[in-house]
């Protein structure tokens, strides 16, 4: 037997060619039958659907909820479902673990568009909800919240307005976080520092050599890299110096304050050696005692407190010359547009329950994420938590410094990636901000022109 | 005569029915899950389409020109070429060496063969997560071993070059067992009388290997070169688990770029254009291998 004929037959006959052509032609016809509706740039813009009249709509008996259980909250979420079902016996909530993080949830939600697998309620993180909106995958919630008397005025304004665009709110805040400054009290004490986070980055610069001296010369501040992270916490340094990624859709990466912030980051890592980029997980490195302090999410609070073998202090992110600012992050919950009004109403009822004062406090106590309602922040549940673990109070108090993120990062596809690449060049390759921010700015502008503008 | 023709037609009809019954389901599955998505991908590559959206804009070949003129493209192509050559070339050399060792009659050769092949059947994500700890510069085994001899750990996760070396090592570790297994089958299929004849003619082990064994392994080498090249160019899981294409896109291959642009950035049209380009590259490489490399293969 000739192995050649059994492994790869390269004989091309007229009959083979005709057969192949027929197969390809048939599948081409099938292929043309699927996919999005195609128009020119002017036709792609979102059409305004008439507002849904919820009067007379009966809630569906079963809904599906896609979550990634932020802060290892699966048991807490199941308990909240049980509570909702007990209060609403006619509605069953099917909880689906649809990913390990916000990005995986979003990828699945987008891939499921146009199929029967779309959930009724879905996680909508700070960098994804806007894309859901321009893709017309979710509904505005103002009318539904009003119909359900959801008391949206009680939401923390910054956290609720993070989901606002074109005078509508497209999600409700659920597992919301900010970065916090975590420090190792043992090392702090050894360095003779006061038991608090540095009030400003200037003060950190003064404290860093003292910390380094008690760490055998190691860099005291451990910081993280990578997408969905570096460009988030850097907002604190940048805004503190008066810079910004963008103002609405106008890029601001070339303004002196933004460049100064980038170069400050370069200096503390590459010149001062007061900060070091963690290999994989800056939070884990801090918990293991490799760094004296770190910038990590409030959502990591419970994990850090559980893993650290030393006393953990928390404080506000240091201020810059223009003030103290912190970005907000985490995820909200949105309702799918492709579902029936009955499904949407049931999902809205569950969302109202998930985000009420009692549930948000319960969720916060279990995970470290912030309570999203003003009334919950000083309610009985949170007060008991503050007494037990005062670190929880820091995140809530820091909300007064919260600022919604610049659109260049949170609304433009690949915006976070382009910014992260520039910041990694600064951190890992000692590049100057002037050399790397212009490319990020140009790439984000192109992405906006191609991927956002035609759909607005 | 008429009845003979009728019987022949009846036999033909039965054969066609049998063919349709046996091959039909496979052909339908191939159309549904291979050819249709392939052609859809070609079509989507001409659209500006945010994945998840029901609306798209026809942009002709703009996605292709965008990719070809992007300043990052040479870097991504470079990473792809280095990763592919290292994992295919390194895998073939290591796999053949292991196969030669495993072909010997030694004690515990059975368990040794199992150990060598085992990583191949593991999930790429599990392998990536496992090696994530092995290479950890603070807590990993590699850092411990290097520290024992007084060497610092390379910045596997912060230096783009070392990160690429790291994922190449892990890819090799995972797949070398498969290559060794196929080579072992090839070695065991070589007729013993040929080796005895070479020995009687005075050929030593090295000469026998170069002049007899390697040429006779030609079909195996050709098969492996095609299949490992295709799998390396499409490698994704280990990179996703270990580096997510970073740092500084140091481990972003074309395959990873397709995923990232399509599912992270949501640019389905652009991602489809890169996928189409990769498809064409794979097709050309495979055709070149079949046209030129296979000519030099000696079939026993």
The stretch A185-213 carries a mean pLDDT of 97
Which CATH number do you get for residue B180? Answer: 1.10.3720.10
- Range B277-297 average pLDDT: 84
- pLDDT for residue A291 is more than 90: yes
The torsion angles phi and psi of A168, rounded to 5 degrees, stand at -130, 150
B207 and B78 fall within a common domain = yes
> For residue A438, how many other CB atoms are within 10 A of its CB?
15
Query: If you average pLDDT over residues A418-433, what whole number do you get?
Result: 96
Distance CA B162, CA B144 (A): 17
> CA-CA distance, A219 to A274, in Å (whole number)?
5
Q: What is the dihedral of CA A246, A251, A253, A256, to 10 degrees?
A: -90
The interface residues of chain A toward chain B in range 415-444, judged by CB-CB distance below 8 A, are 417, 421, 424-425, 428-429, 439
Residue with tokens 């005078």: A167
In a mutational test of the B interface, the residue from A1, A27, A291 whose CB has the highest number of chain B CBs within 10 Å is A27
Instruction: Nearest by CB to A24, from B35, B40, B249: name it.
Output: B35
Where do the DSSP E strands lie in A364-442? Answer: 402-403
Cis, peptide link before residue A136, omega less than 30° from 0: no
Helix, strand, coil percentages in chain A from 3-state DSSP, rounded to 5: 50, 15, 35
Token pair of A183 as six digits: 């420090």
Instruction: Name the band, by pLDDT with cuts 50, 70 and 90, for residue B98.
Output: very high
CA angle B42/B47/B50 to nearest 5° reads: 115
- How far is B270 from chain A, CA to nearest CA, in Å? 11
The band of A7, judged by pLDDT with boundaries at 50, 70 and 90, is very low
* CATH no. for A179-327+403-455: 3.40.190.10
pLDDT digits (tens, 9 = 90+) for A247-256: 999 999 999 9
Rounded to an integer, the average pLDDT of A367-395 is 88
Q: Give me the mean pLDDT over the B191-196 stretch.
A: 90
Residue A2 has pLDDT above 60, yes or no: no
B131 touches chain A (CB under 8 A): no
pLDDT at position A347, please? 97
Start-to-end CA span in chain B (Å)? 46
Q: B299 — contact with chain A (CB < 8 Å)?
A: yes
What are the structure tokens assigned to A31, written together? 């292929």
Q: Which of B38, B40, B50, B287 to mutate to test the interface with A (most CBs of A within 10 A)?
A: B50
Same domain? For B139 and B223 the reply is yes
Same domain, B31 and B178: no
Shared domain for B231 and B183, answered yes or no, is: yes
Any domain includes B236: yes
Residue B117 placed within a domain: yes
Give tens-digit pLDDT for A200-211: 999 999 999 999
A18-32, A46-60, A326-340: least confident range: A18-32
Q: What is the DSSP string of A105-155?
A: HHHHHHHTTTSTT--SEEEEETTTHHHHHHTT-B---HHHHHHTT--GGGB
pLDDT of A47 reads 54
CB contact under 8 A, A414 and B261: yes
DSSP state of A402: E
Phi/psi for A182 (5° steps) reads -100, 140
Q: Which residues contact B36 (CB under 8 A, 6 or more apart)?
A: A27, A30, A31
What is the pLDDT at residue A3? 37
Does the pLDDT at position A9 exceed 50? no
Same domain, B276 and B132: yes
Cβ within 8 Å of A, B 244-263: 244, 246-249, 260-261, 263
Measured between alpha carbons, how far is A435 from B259 in angstroms, rounded to an integer?
A: 28
Cβ neighbours for B31, distance < 8 A, ≥ 6 positions apart: A23, A26, A27, A30
From the number of C-beta atoms within 10 Å of its C-beta (0-12, 13-18, 19+), residue B16 rates as exposed
Q: Which tokens is B23 given?
A: 């091959």
pLDDT at A4: 39
Is residue A181 pLDDT above 90, yes or no?
A: yes
d(CA B105, CA B290): 35
Neighbouring C-beta atoms of residue B9, cutoff 10 Å: 10
Left, alpha or beta for A95 (phi > 0: left; psi -120 to 50: alpha)? beta
Same domain, B158 and B205: yes
Q: Read off the pLDDT of residues A368-380 as tens digits, 9 standing for 90 and up.
A: 889 999 999 988 8
**φ, ψ dihedrals at B65, nearest 5°:** -65, -35
Q: Considering only CB atoms, which chain A residues are within 8 Å of B243?
A: none
A280 and B57: CB-CB below 8 Å? no
Smallest Cβ distance to B54: which of A136, A290, A425?
Answer: A136
Nearest CA-CA distance, residue A324 and chain B, Å: 30
Residue B53 lies in a domain: no
* Widest distance between CA atoms in chain A: 86
Nearest-by-CA chain B residue for A27 = B36
Residue A385 CB neighbour total at 10 angstroms: 20
The reported pLDDT for the residue numbered A26 is 57
- For chain B, positions 46-65, list CB contacts with chain A under 8 A: 47-58
Q: What is the mean pLDDT of residues A416-439?
A: 96
Helix (H) or strand (E) holding A187: helix A185-190
In this prediction, residues A157-171 reach a mean pLDDT of 93
Residue A98 pLDDT more than 60?
yes
Is 90 exceeded by the pLDDT of residue B257?
yes
C-alpha angle with apex A41: A36 to A45, nearest 5 degrees?
75
Work out the mean pLDDT of chain A and round it to a whole number: 90
Name the residue ranges covered by the structural domains of chain A: 62-177+329-377, 179-327+403-455
- Quote the CATH superfamily of domain A62-177+329-377: Periplasmic binding protein-like II (3.40.190.10)
Rg of chain A (C-alpha set): 25
**C-alpha–C-alpha distance, residues A226 and B162, integer Å:** 16
Chain B hits for A429, CB-CB cut-off 8 Å, are 248
- Which tokens is B188 given? 């065991």
What's the DSSP call for residue B152?
A: P
A300-357: pLDDT as tens digits: 888 898 889 999 999 999 999 999 999 999 999 999 999 999 999 999 999 999 999 9
- Same-domain check for residues B36 and B106: no
Evaluate if residue B48 carries a pLDDT over 80: yes
| Contact by Cβ (8 Å): B102, B116 | yes
Q: In Å, how far from its chain's centre is CA A363?
A: 17
Structural domain harbouring B9: 2-44
More confident call, A268 vs A50? A268
Q: Which residue of B has its CA nearest to A10?
A: B290
Contacts of B156 in chain A (CB under 8 A): 279
Are B20 and B90 part of one and the same domain? no
Distance CA A33, CA A40 (A): 19
Chain A residues whose beta carbon lies within 8 Å of the beta carbon of residue B50: 131, 134-135, 413, 451, 455
Total domain count for chain B? 2
The per-residue pLDDT for A29 is 53
pLDDT at A87: 96
Note the residue count of chain A.
456
Residues of chain A positioned with their CB less than 8 A from the CB of B133 = none
- The answer to whether residues B40 and B91 belong to one domain is no
> Which residues make beta-bridge pairs with A94?
A64
Q: Do domains A62-177+329-377 and A179-327+403-455 have the same CATH topology?
A: yes
- SS3 label, residue A414: coil
Which token pair is B273?
């254009």
Average pLDDT, integer, range B154-161: 94
Query: Is residue A29 less than 8 Å (CB to CB) from chain B?
Result: no
CB-based contact B248 A428, cutoff 8 Å: yes
What three-state secondary structure class fits B95? helix
- On the question of pLDDT at A10 being above 90, the answer is no
Asked whether residue B96 is assigned to any structural domain, the reply reads: yes
Residues 17-36 in B contacting A (C-alpha not used; CB under 8 Å): 27, 31, 35-36
Instruction: With a cut of 80, say whether residue A40 has pLDDT above it.
Output: no
Kindly report the nearest CA distance between residue B107 and chain A, in angstroms: 34
Q: In the prediction, which pLDDT does B108 show? A: 86
How confident is residue A455, by pLDDT bands cut at 50, 70 and 90? confident
Q: What is the dihedral of CA A329, A331, A335, A337, to 10 degrees?
A: 60
């Amino acid at each position: 037997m000739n192995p050649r004929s059994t492994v790869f037959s390269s004989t091309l006959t007229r009959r083979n060619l005709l057969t192949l052509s027929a197969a390809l032609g048939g599948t081409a016809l099938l292929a043309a039958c699927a996919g999005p509706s195609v128009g020119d740039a002017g036709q792609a813009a979102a059409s305004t659907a008439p507002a849904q009249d919820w009067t007379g709509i009966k809630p569906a008996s079963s809904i599906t909820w896609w979550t990634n259980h932020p802060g290892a909250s699966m048991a807490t979420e199941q308990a909240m479902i049980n509570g909702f079902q007990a209060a609403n016996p006619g509605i069953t909530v099917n909880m689906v673990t649809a990913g390990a993080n916000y990005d995986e949830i979003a990828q699945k939600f987008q891939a499921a568009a146009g199929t029967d697998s779309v959930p009724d309620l879905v996680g909508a993180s700070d960098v994804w909800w806007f894309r859901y909106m321009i893709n017309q995958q979710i509904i505005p919630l103002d009318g539904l919240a009003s119909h359900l008397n959801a008391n949206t005025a009680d939401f923390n304004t910054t956290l609720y307005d993070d989901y606002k665009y074109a005078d509508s709110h497209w999600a409700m805040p659920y597992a919301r976080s900010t970065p916090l400054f975590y420090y190792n009290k043992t090392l702090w004490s050894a360095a003779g520092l006061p038991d608090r986070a540095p009030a400003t980055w200037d003060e950190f610069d003064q404290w860093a050599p003292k910390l380094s001296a008690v760490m055998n010369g190691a860099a005291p501040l451990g910081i993280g890299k990578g997408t969905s992270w570096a460009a988030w916490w850097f907002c604190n340094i940048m805004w503190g110096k008066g810079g910004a990624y963008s103002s609405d859709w106008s890029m601001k990466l070339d303004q002196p304050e933004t460049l100064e912030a980038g170069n400050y980051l370069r200096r503390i890592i590459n010149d001062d050696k007061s900060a070091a980029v963690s290999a994989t997980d800056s939070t884990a490195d801090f918990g293991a005692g490799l760094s004296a302090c770190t910038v990590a999410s409030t959502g990591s609070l419970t994990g850090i407190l559980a893993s650290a073998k030393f006393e953990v202090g928390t404080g506000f992110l240091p201020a810059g010359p223009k003030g103290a600012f912190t970005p907000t992050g985490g995820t909200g919950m949105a309702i799918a547009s492709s579902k029936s009004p009955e499904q949407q109403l049931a999902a809205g009822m569950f969302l109202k329950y998930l985000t009420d004062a009692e549930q948000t406090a319960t969720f916060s106590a279990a995970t470290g994420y912030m309570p999203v309602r003003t009334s919950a922040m000083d309610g009985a549940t949170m007060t008991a938590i503050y007494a037990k673990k005062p670190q929880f109070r820091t995140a809530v108090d820091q909300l007064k410094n919260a600022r919604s993120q610049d659109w260049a990062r949170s609304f433009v596809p690949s915006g976070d990636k382009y910014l992260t690449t520039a910041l990694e060049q600064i951190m890992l390759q000692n590049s100057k901000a002037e050399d790397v921010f212009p490319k990020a700015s140009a790439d984000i502008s192109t992405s906006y022109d191609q991927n956002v503008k035609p759909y607005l | 005569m008429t009845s003979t023709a009728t019987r022949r037609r009846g036999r033909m009809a039965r054969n066609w029915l049998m063919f349709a019954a046996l091959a039909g389901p496979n052909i339908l599955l191939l159309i549904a899950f291979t050819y249709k998505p392939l052609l859809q991908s070609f079509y989507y590559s001409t659209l500006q389409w945010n994945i998840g959206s029901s609306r798209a804009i026809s942009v002709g070949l703009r996605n292709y020109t965008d990719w070809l003129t992007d300043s990052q493209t040479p870097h991504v192509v470079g990473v792809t070429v280095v990763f592919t050559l290292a994992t295919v070339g390194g895998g073939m050399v290591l796999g053949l060496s292991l196969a030669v060792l495993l072909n010997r009659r030694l004690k515990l050769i059975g368990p040794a063969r199992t150990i060598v092949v085992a990583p191949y059947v593991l999930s790429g994500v599990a392998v990536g997560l496992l090696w994530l700890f092995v290479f950890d510069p603070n807590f990993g085994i590699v850092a411990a071993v290097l520290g024992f001899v007084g060497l610092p750990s390379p910045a596997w996760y912060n230096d783009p070059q070392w990160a690429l070396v790291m994922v190449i090592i892990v890819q090799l570790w995972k797949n070398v067992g498969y290559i060794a297994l196929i080579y072992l089958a090839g070695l065991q299929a070589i007729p013993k009388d040929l080796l005895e004849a070479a020995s009687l003619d005075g050929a030593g082990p090295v000469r026998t290997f170069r002049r007899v064994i390697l040429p006779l392994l030609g079909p195996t080498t050709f098969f492996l070169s095609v299949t490992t090249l295709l799998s390396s160019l499409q490698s994704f899981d280990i990179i996703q688990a270990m580096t997510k294409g970073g740092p500084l896109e140091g481990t972003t291959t074309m395959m990873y770029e397709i995923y990232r642009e399509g599912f992270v950035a949501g640019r389905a049209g652009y991602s489809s254009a890169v996928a189409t380009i990769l498809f064409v590259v794979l097709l050309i490489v495979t055709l070149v291998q079949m046209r030129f490399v296979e000519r030099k293969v000696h079939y026993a």
